Amino acid sequence: MSTTDHQPGTDLGTGHHQPSIEAVDKGNPGNFRVQWAVVDDINVDLASIVATVAALASVVFLRAPLPIAGLGLAAIVLPLRLLLPRSKPPSGTALITGASSGIGAELSYVMANKGHDLILVGRDREQLDNVRSNIQKLGKDRSVHVIDTDLSVPGAAQGLYNKVTADGHQVEVLVNGAGLGAAGDVLEQPIELSERMITLNCTALVQLTQLFGRDMAKRQRGWILQISSVGGWIASPHHNLYHASKHFVRAFSEALSVELRGYPGVVNTQLMPGPTHTQFITRAHADETTMMTWSGSVEDPKVVAQAGYRGLSTGKRMVFSSWNAAMSATLLQLAPRSVHLTLAALMNSPLRGMAKTEPPLKDQTKRAPEKDG
């Protein structure tokens, strides 16, 4: 296990330190590990799209009978989807940021049930201890460590990595779950809040991925779950910066999944929840918006956590928490931008006392997770 502080520009294979300015000047060619011929869900999707276009073209231009084209398409796509090997399900110690409440706490229960030892990270020590005690009540004999730290300050991710490795832990699964939102107009928000949000939602997530990801790449074994959001698909007036930060996470995570083709054994999955009934809503002061009060669209964090773990276990590059979340993201993506922006502004507008979300669960002592399996 490595306890070295990794620096930008350090070559993973050789340990050779390359100053970042040199890397920029030289185009950093040594650090590209481009891979194309890989069986992953990107290539399976790509092959499915090419086969579909070819089947349609054969019907339109070559007058091929529709049933024959359909059968040909099924003969290519079904084996690809059903028979090709999936990555191994995750195992080993999992570090979960944002484990003191909401989706992160629920993921802690799911992962304890699935056999992981856990390192739970958040700021609220009392709630972290409550999650740990709930896990112990499952009677699964897991080792659970808690670390309270504020990841919204510069250098916190490196500090967390240093502590975890100095304590002798080997993190096999990283869940980047800690996140913060803030409803309102960006010009009205304190600069300090914006800075903390970007540091927590983006910088800490990237740095933890780099630090723990490099160790995983060296061991050729590891799993990373990035919690982004349906908001990563929506430009959101009145919840602007949060959704912009999730656009960053989505782009980062999708591109990382391609880069990881060059680092066999490491899986990166992005979980995209829709509006979920957690403290996030009240903390972001979004409990009086159309998006959050429209009860049909607000999801149970337990179900969201299960969807994320399933996606990670099957090596998916991205997974929505529900059909509702997938449909919202897809339709808003397809809509003309003027429609998109108007709908997003409506969804994030305050209802000024007309409706309010039920307060979400705060105290994890009120949550009694069930033993699974």
Ligand X SMILES: NC(=O)c1ccc[n+]([C@@H]2O[C@H](COP(=O)([O-])OP(=O)(O)OC[C@H]3O[C@@H](n4cnc5c(N)ncnc54)[C@H](OP(=O)(O)O)[C@@H]3O)[C@@H](O)[C@H]2O)c1
Please report how close the Cβ of residue 108 comes to ligand X at its closest, in angstroms.
Answer: 10
Q: Of residues 161, 246, 263, 302, which has the active-site annotation?
A: 246
User: With binding defined as CB under 6 A, does residue 104 bind ligand X?
Assistant: yes
136 touches 119 (CB < 8 A): no
User: With binding defined as CB under 6 A, does residue 273 bind ligand X?
Assistant: yes
User: With binding defined as CB under 6 A, does residue 208 bind ligand X?
Assistant: no
**Hey, which bits of the chain come out as E strands?**
94-97, 118-122, 144-148, 173-176, 222-227, 266-272, 318-320
**99 versus 217: smaller Cβ distance to ligand X:** 99
Structure tokens at 370: 């069930």
User: With binding defined as CB under 6 A, does residue 98 bind ligand X?
Assistant: yes
Structure tokens at 86: 């999936």
Q: How far apart are CA 137 and CA 160, in angstroms?
A: 27
Near ligand X by CB under 6 A: residue from 30, 48, 150, 262? 150
Give the three-class secondary structure for 145. Answer: strand
Structure tokens at 372: 């699974």
Please report how close the Cβ of residue 254 comes to ligand X at its closest, in angstroms.
Answer: 16
Please report how close the Cβ of residue 39 comes to ligand X at its closest, in angstroms.
Answer: 30
DSSP state of 186: G
Q: How far apart are CA 203 and CA 156, in angstroms?
A: 10
Stretch that binds ligand X, among 99-107, 186-194, 211-219, 341-349 (CB under 6 A): 99-107
Angle between helices 41-60 and 66-83 (to 10 degrees): 180
Stretch that binds ligand X, among 5-13, 66-74, 270-278, 332-340 (CB under 6 A): 270-278
Stretch that binds ligand X, among 51-59, 81-89, 120-128, 187-195 (CB under 6 A): 120-128
**55 versus 204: smaller Cβ distance to ligand X:** 204
Please report how close the Cβ of residue 306 comes to ligand X at its closest, in angstroms.
Answer: 14
Q: How far apart are CA 98 and CA 127, in angstroms?
A: 11
Q: How far apart are CA 210 and CA 204, in angstroms?
A: 10
Q: Which residue has the tokens 């979340």?
A: 325
User: With binding defined as CB under 6 A, does residue 308 bind ligand X?
Assistant: no
Answer yes or no: 242 catalytic.
yes
Near ligand X by CB under 6 A: residue from 152, 203, 268, 293? 152
Stretch that binds ligand X, among 85-93, 135-143, 182-190, 269-277 (CB under 6 A): 269-277
User: With binding defined as CB under 6 A, does residue 278 bind ligand X?
Assistant: yes
User: With binding defined as CB under 6 A, does residue 122 bind ligand X?
Assistant: yes
Answer yes or no: 109 catalytic.
no
- What are 289's strand-pairing partners? 350
Near ligand X by CB under 6 A: residue from 197, 200, 216, 307? 200
Distances (CA, A) of 27 to 9, 30, 31, 33, 97: 11, 9, 9, 14, 33
Residue 130's closest CA among 105, 103, 97?
105
Near ligand X by CB under 6 A: residue from 123, 219, 285, 367? 123
182 touches 242 (CB < 8 A): yes
Near ligand X by CB under 6 A: residue from 90, 177, 213, 222? 177
228 touches 272 (CB < 8 A): yes
126 touches 137 (CB < 8 A): no
User: With binding defined as CB under 6 A, does residue 179 bind ligand X?
Assistant: yes
Structure tokens at 218: 């060296």
Please report how close the Cβ of residue 224 comes to ligand X at its closest, in angstroms.
Answer: 14
Q: Of residues 161, 242, 263, 309, which has the active-site annotation?
A: 242
Q: What amino acid positions are annotated as catalytic residues?
A: 242, 246
Residues that bind ligand X (CB under 6 A): 98-104, 122-124, 127, 150-152, 177-180, 200, 227, 229, 273, 275-276, 278-281, 283, 301
